[in-house]
Structure 1
Amino acid sequence: MTNEVLVVGAVSPQVREAVSGVVKALEEAFNAKDPSALSEQFAVEASWSNAMGTRLDGREAIAEFSAPALKGFLRDSFARYDVVKLLEVAPGVIAVNVVQTPTDATGGPTDGLRGSTLYVVAERPEGWKIVAGQNTAVSTPAS
């Protein structure tokens, strides 16, 4: 992840590290094709809209969708997730803008759709979790 992050509001270094850790764990789970580890980054009552526009409500639904997707049409897809902005919405609630860059299995850049993602990450009893999010596929601009 890049170190150039726009921080808006009172986001302490500890919160920044925790929230960025959620995004890093999500990236690692996606690249490992591990639906369990991926869904664990979401709160039990999360709402997620993926890049295809499918809304998934709840951690269980996210896991159920992710398992066949990661082993199927996403099996050869890898990405780097870079946090570009943290916005304190309220104490314990951070909006996180992430740029997803396609990579090969070793992390090298490749051509393909990029993602522009917004996560709302909130502090929960079990730690910082994604409570809501939207992933948008973005075409690579022509050179």
Structure 2
Amino acid sequence: MANDLPESTPSSREDEDAIRQLLSRQVGGWDAGDPEAYASAFTPDADYVAFLGSHYKGRDAIAKSYAPLFKKLLRGSRLDTDITQLRFLTPDVALIHATAVVAKGSRRRNPRTTRVNTSIAVRTNDGWLLAASQNTTHRRIAEKLMRQLVSRQSD
């Protein structure tokens, strides 16, 4: 299947900065334990797939799903993220790849709990927002075992 998209669509530095600020605002909502602030980074009809595979449709559903988590399991946690790729597919659509780790207290990042995130940001009348996002737990041991299995199969 041919890819009809250009390698990368030129963007303005302001657009890239706005998307980075959007993600910082989202992380700020997480760190504050505020589900509405966290979900405010999404469009009202966004699609969100959490790391366990749960699918939430819409900003309100995303906020609602995090409310009990921020009260107990994720209380006092912080979200450490690194954008690994920010690519404009069109002037109004950007693909974002990032890694994220949830940490509590003064604990350092644990590579075993790294999540890989893929998001689509879109330009809206309210600025840049996330229209879709999916988190996947990066299973390094399983990845290594799979590489070994594939290597043995090709011998």
Residue of structure 2 equivalent to 1:123: 123
**Pairing 1:1-143 to 2, within 5 Å after superposition:** 8-106=8-106, 109-111=108-110, 112-139=112-139
Q: CA RMSD in A?
A: 2.1
Paired residues in the alignment total: 135
Task: Name the CA distance, whole Å, in 1 between partners of 2:69 and 2:103.
Answer: 18
Q: How big is each residue's C-alpha offset from its partner over 1:38-61, in whole Å with a ceiling of 9 and x where there is no partner?
A: 111100010000111100001111
Task: Name the CA distance, whole Å, in 2 between partners of 1:76 and 1:56.
Answer: 23
Larger RCO of the pair (alpha carbons < 8 Å, separation 6+): 1
More strand by share: 1
More helix by share: 2
CA contact (8 A) 2:95 2:121 kept: yes
Relative to the length of structure 2, the TM-score reads 0.78
Which aligned segments of 4 or more residues in structure 1 are displaced greater than 6 angstroms? none
Structure 2, unpaired ranges of 5+: 1-6, 142-155
Task: Name the CA distance, whole Å, in 2 between partners of 1:27 and 1:42.
Answer: 12
Q: CA deviation at 1:140?
A: 5.7
CA contact (8 A) 2:8 2:89 kept: no
Amino acid in the other structure paired with 1:14:
E
Residue of structure 2 equivalent to 1:4: none
CA contact (8 A) 1:31 1:105 kept: no
Task: Name the CA distance, whole Å, in 2 between partners of 1:105 and 1:92.
Answer: 38
Relative to the length of structure 1, the TM-score reads 0.84
Task: Name the CA distance, whole Å, in 2 between partners of 1:115 and 1:52.
Answer: 11
Structure 1, unpaired ranges of 5+: 1-6
Task: Name the CA distance, whole Å, in 2 between partners of 1:37 and 1:78.
Answer: 14
Q: Could you say what secondary structure the match of 1:73 adopts?
A: coil
